[in-house]
Amino acid sequence: MIIMKTDATQEQIDQVVKEIESYGLRADVSKGAYRTVIGLVGDERKIPFDHFAVLPGVREAMMVDIPYKLISREYSRFFEGLEHMVIKVGTIEIGGKEPVFIAGPCAVESKAQLFEIAEGIKKAGAHILRGGYF
């Protein structure tokens, strides 16, 4: 992840993106109200972060070695208001302090099957029922 300085120019941002792409990665540019964060999509081990840290306009360059980094708390903490985003589904809060368990069948084949599975996952402690449709 590359965090740009608040006064970074578009030209500096474009140069960082170009360099990221030269390593075979995709750059995901997210502009917030106060700063720009560039997420790296691909194998970050190819990137010399010390090189990126000294590029003009760069405030910080770091490896984020977690799955689903673009929706991670580490990534979103650089955007005002997103660091503690909670999404409500009914009475369930996703993104809060407690984990939310979602379960269900890959394919719903009948109403009876869905209700049977719903009963089972509720007993197992799941909070939300999901079901696929083909």
Q: 10-residue block means of pLDDT along the chain (134 residues)?
A: 92 96 92 84 85 93 71 60 71 86 93 95 95 82
Distance CA 63, CA 7 (A): 23
- Assign domain 2-76 to a CATH class: alpha beta
Amino acid at 114: L
Q: What is the pTM of this model?
A: 0.55
The contacts of residue 107 (CB under 8 Å, 6+ apart) are 131, 132, 133, 134
Total residues found in the chain within this entry: 134
Within the chain, all domains assigned CATH 3.30.70.1140 are found at 2-76
